[in-house]
Structure 1
Amino acid sequence: MGFMRSRRRQVNSQIPEVNLVPMMDVLMTVLTFFIIISMSLTGQQISNLRLPQSVAGDAEPEAEIVAIDAMVVGLNRDGELVLDNELATFSQVTQQVRAYFAQNPDGKLIVKADRELSYSEVAGLLTDLRAIGGNRVSLAVE
Structure 2
Amino acid sequence: MRFKSKVAPPPPPVDLIPMLTVMMGILAFFVVITLTLGSEKLIEVQLPAEQQDNAPPPLPADPFIVQLVGENQVQLNGQPIEIDALKGQMEAYLGRNPENIVFLLPSQDLPYEQVMQFLGEMRSVGGRRVSLAIEE
- Which residue number in structure 2 is paired with residue 114 of structure 1? 107
Normalised by the length of structure 1, the TM-score is 0.52
Measured on the aligned residues, the alpha-carbon RMSD in Å equals: 2.0
In structure 2, the gaps of 5 or more residues are: 1-46
CA distances 1:1-24 after superposition (whole Å, capped 9, x unpaired): xxxxxxxxxxxxxxxxxxxxxxxx
How many aligned residue pairs are there? 84
Normalised by the length of structure 2, the TM-score is 0.55
Deviation at 1:79, TM superposition (A): 4.5
| Runs of 4+ with >6 A deviation | none
- Which residue number in structure 2 is paired with residue 67 of structure 1? 59
CA contact (8 A) 2:64 2:76 kept: no
Q: Which runs of structure 2 are paired with 1:1-142 in the superposition (5 Å)?
A: 59-60=48-49, 63-64=56-57, 67-68=59-60, 69-141=62-134, 142=136
CA distances 1:44-95 after superposition (whole Å, capped 9, x unpaired): xxxxxxxxxxxxxx5356724x532431000114541001322111101101
* Identical columns (%): 26
In structure 1, the gaps of 5 or more residues are: 1-57
Q: Report which of the two has the higher share of helix.
A: 1
Higher Cα Rg, which structure: 2
